[in-house]
Amino acid sequence: MDFTYTAEQEAFRKEFRGWLAANLPHDLRVDDPADDRVASTREVFERRCAWQKAMRKAGWIGIAWPTEHGGRAASIIERVIWDEEYAAARAPVLPGMGLNLVGPTIIHWGTDEQKHRYLPRILDADEIWAQGFSEPGAGSDLASLATRAEDRGDHFLVNGQKVWTSGAQYAHAIILLVRTDPSAPKHDGISCLLVDMSTPGIAVRPLVLATGHHHFNEVFFTDVVVPKRQLLGPLNGGWKVSTTTLMYERHSSGARNPIGQVRDLLAAARRLPVDGGTAWDDPRIRQRLAQLYIDCEAMKYTRFRALTRQNRGEPPGPEGSILKLSGSELGVRIADAAGEVLGMHALVNRGSELVPDAPRWLNRLVAARQYTISAGTSEIQRNILGERVLGLPKG
C-alpha cells in the first residue's frame, strides 16, 4: 500500500483547495456537516443549490461520473482528495441524494432517455432528489416493503407510505421502491420507479428530531400515477437496483472520519477548568480521548484497504460494512465522551467563551445514535460480517 501522492495528484489537491478558499462563502461553512446534512431552512437550501451550481460551473461537481455524463472520470485517489479538501474547508453538505446515490444508480441502470432527462439536472442542482426506501414495517428488512404499484397499462398506480425520508420537503423527485408482484418471493417482486414529487396524491409530513432539526419525513402515496417510462431497471428487478443505490449510500456513510471531532474535544479538554486544573489533567479522560483518536486512525486505514482493492480492480470486500459499523458506533462513543469532558457545556444550546460550539455538542449527544440505524443498522452490518467473513451460521 503506497501512501504517497503523485505530482499530478498534489496539483489536483492544490487546485481544488485554492478554488474552495477563493469561492466558498464564509457563512456557508459548517462546524460539523452531520449536524445540518439537510438544510435547516428553505433559504439555506436555496443557497446550497446556488453553491452547487457554482461548483458545477467550475467543474468540481460529479467528478467521479463518466465524462459522457458530465463528470471528469476522476480516479479513486482524486475522489479521496476531493473529499478530504471539501471536509477540511468545512463546506456544506450538498442538497439531496442526486449526486452520490441517484445519479450513479441511473448511470448504471437507466435508459438513454432517463440519463438524458435526469443527469444534467442533477449536476446543475435543478432537480433535487429524495430516497423512498424505508417504510414503517420495512427498515432493516427492506425486502418486506408493502408500497404497491399496480400495472394499469401505460402507467403504474402507487399506494403506500415511506418513512425517514431525508430532505423530502425540498425534493423535486424521489427514487422509489415499490412492490409490483405481490405473489413473487419478496426479493423478486420489487421494482424501482423515478417519481415526480409534484404528482397529485403525494403528501409529505415532517418528522422533527429531538434536536429540533427537520431532517426526516413521512411520505404518503395515494393513487399516484407513474408513467411506465419512469421504471428504472427491469420490472420486478428493483432489488438489484436498490443494491446499487445502497452500495453508494453505505460507502458515503462509512467514509466520514470523525477525527476532527476528537481533535476539537482534545482542545476543549486542555482549556476546560476542573478542580484547579483542566479536564486534560485527568488521566482517565486522556486515555479515553487517546482511544478515540486510535479508533479514528484504524478507521482511516480500513478505508485505505477498501481503496486499495478498488485500485487493483478487485471486487468489494467486507470493508464497506466494517466502515459503516465502526463509523456509526464510533460516533456514539465520541458523543458519550463529549458529555463527560464538556459536562454542563454540552447540555446548553448556546455557545460560551470556553465552548463556543456548544450547540454542536448538544446535537452530537442527542443525535449520534441515529447513525447506527441509517444506511443499514449496526445489527445488519454485524450479521453481514458474521455470515460472509467469519462464516457463522445464520441466526
- Quickly state the pLDDT bin for 384 (edges 50, 70, 90): confident
In a domain, 242, yes or no: no
Question: Please, are residues 125 and 53 in contact by the beta-carbon 8 Å criterion?
Answer: yes
Query: What pLDDT does 56 receive?
Result: 97
CATH number of the domain bearing residue 300: 1.20.140.10
In a domain, 116, yes or no: no
Specify the residue for cell string 438524458.
Answer: 116
Closest CA to 324 of 349, 293, 302, 350: 302
In a domain, 145, yes or no: yes
Catalytic residue from among 127, 135, 249, 319: 249
Query: What pLDDT does 218 receive?
Result: 97
CATH number of the domain bearing residue 57: 1.10.540.10
Query: What pLDDT does 58 receive?
Result: 97
Specify the residue for cell string 449510500.
Answer: 249
Residues 287 and 170 in one domain: no
Residues 261 and 383 in one domain: yes
Query: What pLDDT does 269 receive?
Result: 92
Residues 149 and 230 in one domain: yes
Residue 385 has pLDDT above 90, yes or no: no
* Of 16 and 298, more confident: 16
Report which DSSP code applies to 3. -
Residues 269 and 381 in one domain: yes
Question: Please, are residues 154 and 228 in contact by the beta-carbon 8 Å criterion?
Answer: yes
Residues 200 and 307 in one domain: no
In a domain, 194, yes or no: yes
The domain boundary residue, chosen from 43, 71, 95: 95
Buried b (16+ CB within 10 A) or exposed e, 288-310: bbeebeebbeebeebbeebbeeb
Residues 140 and 172 in one domain: yes
The domain boundary residue, chosen from 95, 118, 148: 95
In a domain, 262, yes or no: yes
pLDDT digits (tens, 9 = 90+) for 301-315: 888 887 777 777 776
In a domain, 18, yes or no: yes
The domain boundary residue, chosen from 169, 203, 234: 234
pLDDT digits (tens, 9 = 90+) for 39-87: 889 999 999 999 999 999 999 999 999 999 999 999 888 988 998 899 8
- Residue 5: which residues within 8 A CB-CB, separation 6 or more? 13, 77, 81
Side-chain-side CA neighbours of 53 within 13 Å: the count stands at 11
* Cα(376)–Cα(142) distance, integer angstroms: 10
pLDDT digits (tens, 9 = 90+) for 188-247: 999 999 999 999 999 999 998 877 788 899 999 999 999 999 999 999 999 999 887 776
Q: What residue numbers bound the domain in which 78 lies?
A: 7-95
Query: What pLDDT does 254 receive?
Result: 42
In a domain, 121, yes or no: no
Residue 249 a catalytic site member: yes
pLDDT digits (tens, 9 = 90+) for 138-183: 877 888 999 999 999 999 999 999 999 999 999 999 999 999 999 9
CATH number of the domain bearing residue 223: 2.40.110.10
| Terminal-to-terminal C-alpha distance of the chain | 36
Q: What is the mean pLDDT of the chain?
A: 89
Query: What pLDDT does 284 receive?
Result: 93
For the chain, give percent helix, strand, coil, nearest 5: 50, 15, 35
In a domain, 298, yes or no: yes
* Cα(380)–Cα(321) distance, integer angstroms: 9
Residues 23 and 143 in one domain: no
Residue 253 has pLDDT above 50, yes or no: no
Beta strands 148-151 and 190-196 are unpaired
Specify the residue for cell string 433535487.
Answer: 128
* Cα(11)–Cα(62) distance, integer angstroms: 19
The residue type at 28: L
| Displacement of CA 280 from its chain's centroid (Å) | 33
Residues 227 and 275 in one domain: no
| Domains: count for the chain | 3
